[in-house]
Amino acid sequence: MRLILQMIICVFALSWSQLYATNWPVGPGQLYTKPSQVANLVASGDTVTIASGEYLGDVAIWKMDGLLLRGEGGFAHLNADGKAAGQKAIWVIQGDDITVEQIEFSHCTVPDKNGAGIRQEGTNLTVRQCWFHDNENGILAGDNTTSTILVEQTEFGFNGYGDGFSHNIYVNHVAKLIFRYNYSHDSKVGHLVKSRAHENHILYNRLDSQQGSGVSYEIDLPNGGLSFVIGNQIMQPADGQNSAIMSYGLEGLSNPGPHECYAINNTMVNAKTVGRFFNLSASTALFKGWNNLLVGGGSFSNGPVQVMDTIRNLLIPDPVDAGFEDLAGMDLHITAASPAVDQGLDPEYAGAVKLWPVLEYDHPSGYTNRPEHGLLDVGAYEGPLINALIPCSDQLDIQLWRAGNILGSAGLCDGDELMIWSLNGTLIRTSKTTDISLPAIPVIIAVYRNGQRLVARVIL
């Protein structure tokens, strides 16, 4: 009875906090004109809505849990103008389960040379549709092995003190980093993404820099762990600080295992004439590199690991031969003339995680469904349809949609097989009919015809 009573009290408290959560409007003409003025007034579960515009020299520490901190009408620009809360960051986030949206963070400096847009000290953080620039670190997250950090649809640029120890984003030892649909570029002698997280999901991002930035690694995962690098567009300039584009485990595999790295369907361009695409610790348990389009100078990797599983990677020394739409404009979609068309192979699974690339990065800081034109293409983008097999119909314009909890479709043939997965790659069911119920979560649905996959779509 005591346990039941405690559960009832917890549910009641949660419902009460959600029912009476407060929205705090901030900005010109409001009672509170700066975000820092409400930082010590908010309660757990509250929302702070910050009008677009510049807030010069305003910094804050957020201590309560479950906050939603968001800009409204465009970016709320927190221009620190050299200031920092607690000599750490523009925002020091100490509360748990906080979400930050539509905020621009810039010009944070501290005596220790690691002033950040956000210093994450709580458990679990979501950053969405933000912009970090001209700080000593964009996001700096401390050690918290129970924390998950999700960053999506966000731009990072021109962060770093210039000493090689500060980066666009620097995540220390947390449980998981999910970094997806982001644009990270032009760090100042730092890395575009550096993570010591025990598990990393670096998915469908654009990572590149112009000459003169002094960028170091585009991706640095110095302590290993389980890592997925899928569908990214990555470019290293000719004057980059490192000879390699991605590094894994080179500061020691101190994270909990498994020390497995999966690099699948990335497009990587090295403007150098030398170097390598992957720098790997020789003690890595497994490196699976499939369907990567590797263009420019250098070799595939620095050497073997414990298990080296590589197949269908294309190394093309001359970028002219890669068949890009517009390399100078950094549009790395491929044309029908690209040797990457139809050369990929289904990368299958890593445990329960499906490795097939279902999305593509859409500039700036977005994503779109990856089309399926018969066979899988190599690289981060699917090229035009050129070699389709049409067993039962001339119609390959297959449409799938959700009608409540029922799957709707058009363009299917008799005998087509449907396979439905959750977004983490768990198979939910297979069916040969479309009059089926869908779970109340986003899913991936693939259509097979005579054993050939024709299309895979994310159904929200």
Give the pLDDT of residue 12.
Answer: 45
Contacts with 73 (C-beta within 8 Å, 6 or more apart), sequence order: 51, 52
Q: Is 133 helix (H, G, I), strand (E, B) or coil?
A: strand
Q: What is the chain's alpha carbon radius of gyration, rounded to the nearest angstrom?
A: 23
Residue 307 has pLDDT above 70, yes or no: yes
Torsion of CA 201, 207, 213, 217, to 10 degrees: 40
Q: What are phi and psi of 121, to 5 degrees?
A: -120, -10
Give the pLDDT of residue 264.
Answer: 98
Residue 394 has pLDDT above 70, yes or no: no
- Type of residue at 270: N
Q: Residue 17 — pLDDT band, cuts 50, 70, 90?
A: very low
Q: Is 322 helix (H, G, I), strand (E, B) or coil?
A: helix
CB 86 within 8 A of CB 63: no
Q: How far apart are CA 291 and CA 230, in angstroms?
A: 10
Give the pLDDT of residue 11.
Answer: 45
Q: What is the pLDDT of residues 60-87, one digit of tens each?
A: 999 999 999 999 999 999 999 999 999 9
Q: How far apart are CA 454 and CA 448, in angstroms?
A: 6
Q: What is the pLDDT of residues 187-197, one digit of tens each?
A: 999 999 999 99
Q: How far is CA 412 from CA 13, 394, 437, 453, 455, in A?
A: 49, 11, 17, 13, 11
User: Tokens in use for 199?
Assistant: 């598990």
CA 142 to chain centre: 19
Q: What is the domain partition of the chain in residue ranges? A: 21-369, 399-459
Please compute the mean of the pLDDT values over residues 7-27 and round it to a whole number. Answer: 65
Q: Residue 317 — pLDDT band, cuts 50, 70, 90?
A: very high
Q: How far is CA 353 from CA 117, 323, 419, 430, 455, in A?
A: 32, 31, 15, 17, 19
The model's pTM: 0.82
Please compute the mean of the pLDDT values over residues 349-374 and round it to a whole number. Answer: 94
Q: What are phi and psi of 179, to 5 degrees?
A: -125, 105
Q: How far apart are CA 370 and CA 204, in angstroms?
A: 11
Q: Please measure the distance between the N-terminal and C-terminal CA atoms of the chain and give it in whole angstroms.
A: 41
- 52-66, 251-265, 310-324, 397-411: least confidently modelled range: 397-411
Q: How far is CA 206 from CA 191, 314, 448, in A?
A: 13, 19, 30
With b for 16 or more beta-carbon neighbours within 10 A and e for fewer, the 375-384 pattern comes to bbbbbbbbbe
- Type of residue at 82: G
Average pLDDT along the chain: 91
Residue 313 has pLDDT above 90, yes or no: yes
- 223-232, 339-348, 428-437: least confidently modelled range: 428-437
Q: What is the pLDDT of residues 42-62, one digit of tens each?
A: 999 999 999 999 999 999 999
DSSP letters, 343-384, are ------EETTEE-S--EEEETTTEEEEPP--SSPPSSSS---
Give the pLDDT of residue 433.
Answer: 64
**Which of these, 394, 401, 383, 397, lies nearest to 438 by C-alpha position?**
401
**Which of these, 382, 363, 369, 378, lies nearest to 208 by C-alpha position?**
363
Give the pLDDT of residue 387.
Answer: 55
Q: Would you tell me which CATH number, out of the four given (3.30.300.30, 3.40.50.10090, 3.30.70.141, 2.160.20.10), belongs to the domain 21-369?
A: 2.160.20.10
